[in-house]
């Protein structure tokens, strides 16, 4: 069996860094063609039907409608649990909104790899009502 030189934790860190740097192409390039982003998991104003954003076009729209609209984003991961092709990061995201208002979202952020070096699923567990 060939050992893969990357881990899904590496993909998670690259995703978090690209989002924080507002690197749209870099962030989108981390995802498999049929990947899904659920941020947050379940119905919310960001995804009323709760099914998430599946496929390259839907994930690009999510980036444009959410990540692309904030002035800044910084992840602070307190704990990380790597199990096979999945990682669960526990921590917070510091978000600076247009106009300078900032907020912090606490949650669990999971990433599943596709076995070929790309993200198959990003699921974020946080409570939308906690946005300040």
CATH of the domain at 116: 3.10.450.50
Average pLDDT over residues 31-50: 95
Closest CA to 14 of 31, 32, 35: 31
For residue 2, being part of any structural domain is answered with no
Average pLDDT over residues 90-108: 94
For residue 125, being part of any structural domain is answered with yes
pLDDT of residue 130: 64
State the total domains in the chain.
1
Q: Give the residue numbers spanning the domain of 118.
A: 8-130
Residue 128: pLDDT band (50, 70, 90) is: confident
Closest CA to 59 of 94, 29, 92, 98: 29
Assessment of whether the complete model's pTM goes beyond 0.85: yes
For residue 3, being part of any structural domain is answered with no
| Whether the Cβ atoms of residue 115 and residue 2 lie closer than 8 Å to each other | no
Sorted by sequence, the CB contacts under 8 Å of residue 131 that are 6+ apart come out as: 103, 105
pLDDT of residue 1: 41
pLDDT of residue 129: 72
How is residue 115 written in tokens?
């076995």
pLDDT of residue 2: 43
């Amino acid at each position: 069996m060939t050992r893969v030189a990357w881990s899904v934790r590496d993909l998670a860190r690259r995703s978090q860094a690209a989002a924080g740097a507002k690197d749209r192409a870099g962030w989108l390039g981390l995802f498999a063609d049929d990947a899904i982003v659920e941020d947050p998991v379940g119905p919310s104003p960001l995804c009323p039907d709760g099914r998430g954003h599946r496929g390259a076009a839907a994930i690009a729209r999510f980036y444009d409608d959410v990540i692309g609209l904030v002035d800044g984003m910084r992840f602070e991961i307190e704990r990380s649990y790597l199990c096979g092709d999945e990682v669960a990061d526990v921590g917070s995201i510091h978000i600076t909104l247009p106009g300078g208002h900032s907020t912090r979202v606490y949650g669990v952020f999971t990433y599943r790899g596709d076995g070929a070096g790309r993200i198959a699923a990003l699921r974020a567990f946080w409570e939308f009502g906690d946005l300040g």
